Structure 1
Amino acid sequence: MLSPSVFFFAGTASQELGKSIAELANKLLGKWELQRFSDGEIRPILQENINGAMVVLIQSTYTPVDHLMELLLMIDAARNAGARKVVVVLPYLGYMRQDKVHQAGESYGAALVTKLLFAAGADQLIICEPHTSNLHLYFSGIIKEVSSYEIFKRYLETLQLKNVCFVAPDAGALAAARLYAQFFNANLVACHKIRQAPNKVASIQVTGTVKNTHAIIIDDIIDTGHTLYAVAQELRSQGAYSVYALCTHPIFSGYAYDYLLSSVLDKIIVTNTIPIKKQHVKIKVLDIATCILPFIEKVVLED
């Protein structure tokens, strides 16, 4: 049981996940109101007495950018109301793919967003699969990273698939795919994708054998779905019995949802870091709240 002096608030982007986390912690979500000026400017108001308390703010920052601004204002509001500590839970933190400067004139988006969270008054960040590993360089507080590995692993065990292989769709997913391959004593397959433009995949080269296997693609983000679609197509063409995808963050931008439902993928397993717009038998959503709560409890115990 967490102390009464710990308050949970869920932003508009993470209402359902916030409720799930709060219920697991035997807490009620704190009351707050989001006001809007006529020009669209937002004004969140926390409606609990949080003076001297620890405040846990739960908010994903997927599109639109209002979700990020809302979170920054909520952090500032908590500080202004006398919160002793502000812990920010980011099921999905946007702009993390902008973690390198490839050419002159680019912004270092990941660093900027992390600095903004600290400047607003966040003491600690709890982030699910942040897509980059160097955020600690730009945030002066504590950063904890939550992995979806355990809930995905448990789900795969319920499927009881025989003769599986794990597929990394690109170099960035190789380490994660290797974890699954080692646990299930399965083969690891690597892909190399050749892009014709951003979010457009020209071709996929597969290193390894997938014939007569259940191929399971491991990745952290589904955005347009083009990579996932192309990889699944190539795996099937090389003789895979079935193709599954495990991806933590279902961004599903543009026409990704319909695009992926028309693919050869048998199942797409994601978490609820970002709410799914439409339910479908082909998409399985796992609740990541059980992975997040232990990190919050540890912060409370260490406080």
Structure 2
Amino acid sequence: MPYFGWARQDRKDRPRVPIGAKLVANMLVAAGVDRVMTMDLHADQIQGFFDIPVDALYASGIFVPYIESLHIEDLSIAAPDMGGAKRANTYAKHLGTPIIISHKERAKANVVGKMTAIGEVEGRNVLIVDDMIDTAGTICMAADMLMARGAKSVRAAITHPVLSGPAYERINDSALEEVIVTDTIPLNPNKDLHKFTVLSVADIFADV
């Protein structure tokens, strides 16, 4: 299960709603599944929702070599929000780069109100890392904000390209130079994909 699609439903955000990730975990076990392999869970604690072994794999194994092959100078790794700081720090350690943390205030679900950045941005080539991209509002706002703060370029490395609603159009209209994704979710072939680079996760799953 390369993309565990219920991962964002990992807590009760209002009364009388289910924790969807736990519900699906129970359903899989009831159906007879005895082991789960998945990649870049939205929250690591979701592994504890299962009563069977879970192999939580990481896309950094293919993202890091690709980024290194680009030989980008003055590279900094950015988290799109405070929740992604741990992931960004892991990439920064692998690549030996500084880290930038974006802070966002949501006006409502999938709508970001305003955004600021913590860290040195001016003169840097920035790579934003995250586990998924949905409507692309956060990523595109972060890219535009970083360019306005003096970044040389902004790329993004995102494991799961959900890309709902106007996501493709937002990306193509944004300051993002390149969006690197995996094939855990197929891209829409009818969209303009000139900014996208797709890396395969097949070898990572095959090696488990």
Instruction: Report if TM-score (shorter chain) is over 0.5.
Output: yes
Q: Gapped runs of 5+ residues in structure 2?
A: none
**CA pair 101-187 structure 1, distance change in 2 beyond 3 A:** same
Give 5+ residue unaligned stretches, structure 1. 1-89, 296-303
Aligned counterpart in structure 1 of residue 148 of structure 2, from 215, 218, 237: 237
Instruction: Give the total of aligned pairs.
Output: 206
Partner of 2:51: 140
2:173 to 262, 272, 275: 262
* 1:212 lines up with 2:123 in the alignment: yes
Residue matched to 1:294: 207
Distance 1:167 1:138 in 2: 29
Structure 1 position 134, deviation (Å)? 2.2
| Inter-partner Cα distance in structure 1 for 2:64 and 2:47 | 28
Cα offsets for 1:276-303 (capped at 9, x unmatched) = 00362210000011111111xxxxxxxx
Is residue 155 of structure 1 aligned with residue 69 of structure 2? Answer: no
- What is the DSSP-based 3-state SS (H/G/I as helix, E as strand, rest coil) of the residue aligned with 1:131? coil
Q: Which stretch shows the higher mean deviation, 242-251 or 274-283?
A: 274-283
Give aligned-pair identity as a percent.
Answer: 33
1:206-230 deviation line (CA, Å, top 9, x unaligned): 0111111100001000000000010
Contact 2:40–2:56 (CA<8 Å) still a contact in 1? yes
Report the 3-state secondary structure (helix = DSSP H, G, I; strand = E; otherwise coil) of the residue aligned with 1:180: helix
Which residue in 1 is equivalent to 2:164?
A: 253
- CA RMSD of superposed structures (Å): 1.0
Rounded Cα–Cα distance in structure 2 between residues aligned with 1:119 and 1:134: 20
Helix, strand or coil: the match of 2:44?
Answer: coil
Q: In structure 1, how many angstroms separate the alpha carbons of the residues matched to 2:21 and 2:131?
A: 16
Give the TM-score normalised by the residue count of structure 1: 0.66
Cα distance, 1:104 vs. partner? 1.3
Q: Provide the rounded CA distance (Å) in 1 between the counterparts of 2:7 and 2:155.
A: 25
1:170 Cα shift? 1.0
Structure 1 residue 259 displacement after superposition: 1.4
Q: Is the 8 A contact 2:68 2:95 kept in 1?
A: no
Task: Please name the residue that 1:283 is paired with.
Answer: 196
Q: Provide the residue aligned with 2:13 in structure 1.
A: 102
Residue 177, structure 1, aligned to residue 88, structure 2 = yes
Question: What is the letter of the counterpart of residue 163 of structure 1?
Answer: D
Kindly state the Cα deviation for residue 159 of structure 1 after the two structures are TM-superposed: 0.5
TM-score (norm 2): 0.96
Residue type of the alignment partner of 1:121: G
Structure exhibiting the larger radius of gyration computed from Cα positions: 1
Mapping for residues 190-201 of structure 1, pairs under 5 Å: 190-201=101-112
Q: Which moved more, 1:208-217 or 1:180-189?
A: 180-189
